[in-house]
Chains A and B, each alone.
Chain A
């Protein structure tokens, strides 16, 4: 389980999070929703030490990982997929994916690449193509595949549906449910609360850098959410 306690974080002088508490279990899909600027992405970035952490603790199974160097985070079973499909544009698809498996020995690396190509057959076809030549949806698959390489316990996804068609988005969400069955949990940040909430086991509503509501899917009936996030599309 990933545990965030009393997190205060931001960018230098600009504080974004004011005492965030939340948990993400490895066998669940945890959803963070909230308006723009609420700090959802900042929560994920804090876990990987990409922002300034002023106070608070981040723990993985009781082991504290607050502020450890970014490149050490994957050693704790976490895999982060930042917003915007951050592929390595000039490397080919296979190289992109292989770079996810830096910790793995040779044979294990091959095994994982096979597994990943099995999960995302499209990528197997495009293995030798430079990653920048793929479509948006395919690039999203590349970053997801790359994240899965080190057999993570928890995926951290920042708005994976951004810029994708509803069909592709559904595909991603279905994938996350499949992964949950395989024992890989997700901490998901999404703008599109309605679609994402269908797959969520636990939901946190973030506003102005604080958790204002949390619980299972029953909180969707709460006034706040219905009014602000689920109204319309």
Chain B
């Protein structure tokens, strides 16, 4: 009896954990390269989920729906970057407070646009004919983990990946050495948008869509990032599973609603005692 509950719990942690790990990773990539707390990532994810649902609704095949969703995600990322984020920079430096207000504003704006377009009732993507629940779960875990690994390798070995890491470390030195940091920033947001699109698709398959989920997704991704350490990719992943564990175990023993309260308590504890998270570097005066 207890083993089945334990496995059930472990599965939930694995599934939600990997999904939100991918989301947290997408956010972290943007934060490291552009220094912007990309809260609006939540709406890229949610918007993608809706795009996926909408395409399927219109009778598109699964593969077309996926391609369409990724295109929509890229478009969202491009717009956010070009019309807002890049315009908040003077000489490469970013206005921190304003960028935070702007990114949260984008999140709420996006949610309201989704609300206006799709209404407030919940939307469900149903694959029950083609895929069993177990299939979907495997897909989620598999795709998320493969994506994360791919990203890791990309950043480590590819030319663009190294440039992203250079810009993340010191964007002025990167420019001096010949790296067009504006293009690198754009690439980072687009890459993160693709990941957000993937998360959106997987999310739509497993959970229900409603416009207010954007902020939930943002907050949940966020807590994981903060706990893991805001600049750290492995931290984001570890943080995700850790928080997921806390939330699900807590939900099991207490009540589902208190789920988020638990993670908030942990986040606050970290912010109070160890603001840089588990793997983050000491927060210094970064070279913006």
Give me the interface of A with B, judged by CB distance under 8 Å: 48, 50, 69-75, 80, 82, 86-91, 95, 98-100, 102-103, 146, 150
User: B175 touching A89 by the CB < 8 A rule?
Assistant: no
Q: Measured between alpha carbons, how far is A102 from B176 in the docked complex, in Å?
A: 11
User: B162 touching A146 by the CB < 8 A rule?
Assistant: no
Shortest distance in angstroms between A154's beta carbon and chain B's nearest beta carbon? 14
A-B contact pairs, 15 of them (CB 8 A): A50-B172, A69-B180, A71-B175, A71-B178, A71-B181, A72-B178, A74-B177, A74-B178, A82-B176, A87-B169, A88-B166, A88-B170, A91-B162, A99-B166, A102-B178
Shortest distance in angstroms between A82's beta carbon and chain B's nearest beta carbon? 7
| A86-B170, A88-B170 known; A70-B175 Cβ under 8 A | yes
User: B169 touching A48 by the CB < 8 A rule?
Assistant: no
- Residues on the A chain within 8 Å of B165, using CB: 88, 90-91, 95
Shortest distance in angstroms between A104's beta carbon and chain B's nearest beta carbon? 10
- Residues on the A chain within 8 Å of B246, using CB: none
User: B180 touching A86 by the CB < 8 A rule?
Assistant: no
Closest Cβ neighbor of A146 among chain B residues: B177
Q: Measured between alpha carbons, how far is A91 from B170 in the docked complex, in Å?
A: 11
- Residues on the B chain within 8 Å of A86, using CB: 170, 172-173, 176, 287
User: A91 touching B176 by the CB < 8 A rule?
Assistant: no
- Residues on the B chain within 8 Å of A70, using CB: 172, 175-176
Give me the interface of B with A, judged by CB distance under 8 Å: 91, 162-163, 165-166, 168-170, 172-181, 287
- Residues on the A chain within 8 Å of B174, using CB: 88, 99
Shortest distance in angstroms between B154's beta carbon and chain A's nearest beta carbon? 14
- Residues on the A chain within 8 Å of B169, using CB: 87-91
Tell me the number of A-to-B contacts counted with CB atoms below 8 Å.
64
Shortest distance in angstroms between B49's beta carbon and chain A's nearest beta carbon? 33
- Residues on the A chain within 8 Å of B175, using CB: 48, 70-71
Q: A91-B162, A91-B165 are in contact. List 18 more A-B contacts (CB 8 A).
A: A69-B180, A71-B179, A71-B181, A72-B178, A73-B176, A82-B173, A86-B170, A87-B170, A88-B165, A88-B173, A90-B168, A99-B162, A99-B163, A99-B174, A99-B177, A102-B179, A103-B178, A146-B177
Q: Measured between alpha carbons, how far is A99 from B166 in the docked complex, in Å?
A: 8
Closest Cβ neighbor of B166 among chain A residues: A88
- Residues on the B chain within 8 Å of A82, using CB: 172-173, 176
Q: Measured between alpha carbons, how far is A95 from B163 in the docked complex, in Å?
A: 10
Shortest distance in angstroms between A132's beta carbon and chain B's nearest beta carbon? 9
Shortest distance in angstroms between B285's beta carbon and chain A's nearest beta carbon? 12
- Residues on the B chain within 8 Å of A146, using CB: 177
Shortest distance in angstroms between B176's beta carbon and chain A's nearest beta carbon? 5
Closest Cβ neighbor of B184 among chain A residues: A71
User: A71 touching B170 by the CB < 8 A rule?
Assistant: no
Q: Which single member of B172, B179, B180, B181 contacts A99 (CB below 8 Å)?
A: B179
Shortest distance in angstroms between A93's beta carbon and chain B's nearest beta carbon? 13
Going nearest first, the 7 A-B pairs with the smallest beta carbon separation are A86-B173, A70-B175, A88-B169, A74-B178, A102-B178, A71-B180, A80-B176
Q: Measured between alpha carbons, how far is A80 from B173 in the docked complex, in Å?
A: 9
- Residues on the A chain within 8 Å of B168, using CB: 90
Q: Measured between alpha carbons, how far is A100 from B180 in the docked complex, in Å?
A: 13
- Residues on the B chain within 8 Å of A87, using CB: 169-170, 173
User: B176 touching A48 by the CB < 8 A rule?
Assistant: yes
Shortest distance in angstroms between A169's beta carbon and chain B's nearest beta carbon? 22
Q: Measured between alpha carbons, how far is A98 from B161 in the docked complex, in Å?
A: 13
Shortest distance in angstroms between B170's beta carbon and chain A's nearest beta carbon? 5
User: B162 touching A95 by the CB < 8 A rule?
Assistant: yes
Q: Measured between alpha carbons, how far is A86 from B84 in the docked complex, in Å?
A: 29
Q: Measured between alpha carbons, how far is A120 from B60 in the docked complex, in Å?
A: 60
User: B177 touching A102 by the CB < 8 A rule?
Assistant: yes
- Residues on the B chain within 8 Å of A100, using CB: 177
- Residues on the B chain within 8 Å of A99, using CB: 162-163, 166, 174, 177, 179
Shortest distance in angstroms between A200's beta carbon and chain B's nearest beta carbon? 23
- Residues on the A chain within 8 Å of B180, using CB: 69, 71
Closest Cβ neighbor of A131 among chain B residues: B169
- Residues on the B chain within 8 Å of A50, using CB: 91, 172
